[in-house]
Structure formats: structure tokens, C-alpha cells
Amino acid sequence: MRILAAMSGGVDSAVAAARAVDAGHEVVGVHLALSRAGGTLRAGSRGCCTVEDALDARRAADRLGIPFYVWDFSERFRDDVVADFISEYQAGRTPNPCMRCNEKIKFAALLERALELGFDAVCTGHYATLVDGEQGRELHRASDAAKDQSYVLGVLTAEQLAHTYFPLGATPSKALVRAEAEQRGLTVAQKPDSHDICFIPDGDTRGWLAERVGAEQGEILDRSGAVIGTHEGAHAFTVGQRRGLQLGVPASDGKPRFVLEVRPVSNTVVVGPKEALATAEISGERFTWAGRAPQADAFDCDVQIRAHADPVPARAVIAGGVVTVRPHEPFEGVAPGQTAVLYDGTRVLGQFTIDRTVSAVPAPV
């Protein structure tokens, strides 16, 4: 096949490209420039997609003897990922920019251009497995549970999966990938993995949002509606947050309180006891299926609500263009804007953006 290898500058994508070459494919490497801040460099393991990363990707491509290009996707990234991140916070939701980047950039914009140029598939260093079943291609978890990235790939559709290549999915551990990179003479063999949000490399999400959204003082309420503190901007809070609340009224039981709800319209934040974070039901209208759609309107599945969370057994119901999931045991600390990925064993069924949550603990009357 003609393979376009997305090379981030890290060890995973470099080894994935190398394996594609070993498999006999015609491989071309490409690095996506997602920011026009040309002088930006990575700070330790924070951030990605920088000038330093582009140079690392080029060195890896040279070592593999494949053509290499840098494509400017900064405008698409700004519009589809960064702007979405800001608008979701303004709406009181907690977005996952990595999901949006996979959905809108790596497996939409990049794949679209790759197909236009005559490539058969896009290759990445994600840890996930593709299985060609009787009813089409399926997305499954990786062999290495600790590195499994099927959650952030849950946004992929059947058409996208048909043109996707994940050479690392069956690798038992990341240590083996690094050892292979050493053997191949790739200079990124021991490069740290990137963490945090790539366009906020210093990790100060609250400060970054304050500069773009603005800070307006509002009230912090308990579940009864009583004012127990103030804040400098609702956008700075996420469901499940405990620190930085600066409450003026202590809880009657002396226990810490957590953010239960963010209300952007009234610029208020609702807090309460940890047990009130238990969620009995989640639902959403924005959903996609990774391969064939479920054959029934109601089915049992496992649901994962964070990239590294344990899957939870649940019952899913599709009705009126809405997916509703009721876990057998309550979720904890679910926020609108998060992504729920549905599994059947190791297979990814699909995903939806959480629009509504129902607490398992009724509020006091």
C-alpha cells in the first residue's frame, strides 16, 4: 500500500513508520505543524507538535530513508480544536482536545488530503488494534492495557477505519518499542512522552482560559442554593474539582466539598459532598459508530468516560436520536463535554459527547 505516516516527532510514530517500511509498503512521512508560533519549544515532557518535534520527525524519516514533509494544519487546528476547547468551557462543559484532534485533524483533514493524493491509508503510532471481521473493520484495544489508546480513537468512523494503519497495537509493552527504536538507531528512542494539553504547554489551563474568556466574579452555591463563596470565573472549574474552591462557609460535617455542576449562564458553581458526584445516567446527541452500528436499540456494553478510567458495565439505549447509558454501578465525577466510549469486550462500538448527567444522589429539598 501507499502509506502516509503521521510522524509527531516521538518514538511511537517513528517506530510505526519503520514497521510500515519493513512490511513492504511505500511510505511517506509527514509532520503536522499545528501552531505558527515558530520559536516554541517543548518544556520537558509538556506539549507536542513543536519545532523540536518537527526536527526529530525529520531525523527519523532520514534514518528510515523515506520522503518527509511538513504540512501546515495550524488554521484547521485553531478552528476545530482550540476554538472548540474555548467554546466548550464557555458552555460549562469539560472538553477533551485529544479526541477533537483525532476526529478533526489526524483522521479527517489529514486522511482527506492523503486520499486525495492517492495514499491508501494513514499510519500513526497509536496503541490500538484493527480487526477485519465479517461485517467490516473493527477497532479493538491494544495488547498493552497500560498504553491502550482505543478510547481517544473512539471517534473514528467505519470509513476512516478502512484507511487506517496501527502497527503498534499488538506490541506487548512500550519498553519493547523503545528498545526497537534503539536497535534501529532512532534518536527519539528515549524521548519522554508528551503530556498535558499540547497548546497549553505550561499546564496552566485556568490562566490560559482567563486570558481568552475573561474572568467575571460569580457565586459558589451548595446543593440547597445557599451562597457559600465566590469565584473569579466559572470557566476555571470542572466537575469533580476539590482544590482552589476558597469557600467562606465550612461544610456542616467538616468534610471537603467538590464541584458538582458549572452553570455558565448564571456564572455560578455548585459544590457538594463527594458522594454527590455519583452519576446514575449519562446521555448525548452527538454520537458515532466505529464500524457497524449496534443492531438493537438497547444493548449491554462497557463504558469508559476517561482515557485511563476502568470500563464500567452498563446498559445503553438509543431513542429519539439520543444515546442514554445507565451504568450498573454509578460513575463518579462525570462532566458534560466528556466523551463516553462504548465497548463490547475489547471492541470499540462507538462514542458520544455527554450532554446531560443525572446524579445518583438526589439534592436536598
Residues with active-site annotation:
101, 198
3-state secondary structure the chain: CEEEEECCCCHHHHHHHHHHHHCCCEEEEEEEECCCCCCCCCECCECCCCHHHHHHHHHHHHHHCCCEEEEECHHHHHHHHHHHHHHHHHCCCCCCHHHHHHHHHHHHHHHHHHHHCCCCEEECCCCCEEEEECCEEEEECCCCCCCCCCHHHCCCCHHHHCCEECCCCCCCCHHHHHHHHHHHCCCCCCCCCCECCCCCCCCCHHHHHHHHHCCCCEEEECCCCCEEEEECCHHHCCCCCCCCCCECCCCCCCCCCEEEEEECCCCEEEEECHHHHEEEEEEECCEEECCCCCCCCEEEEEEECCCCCCCEEEEEEEECCEEEEEECCCEECCCCCCEEEEEECCEEEEEEECCEEEECCCCCC
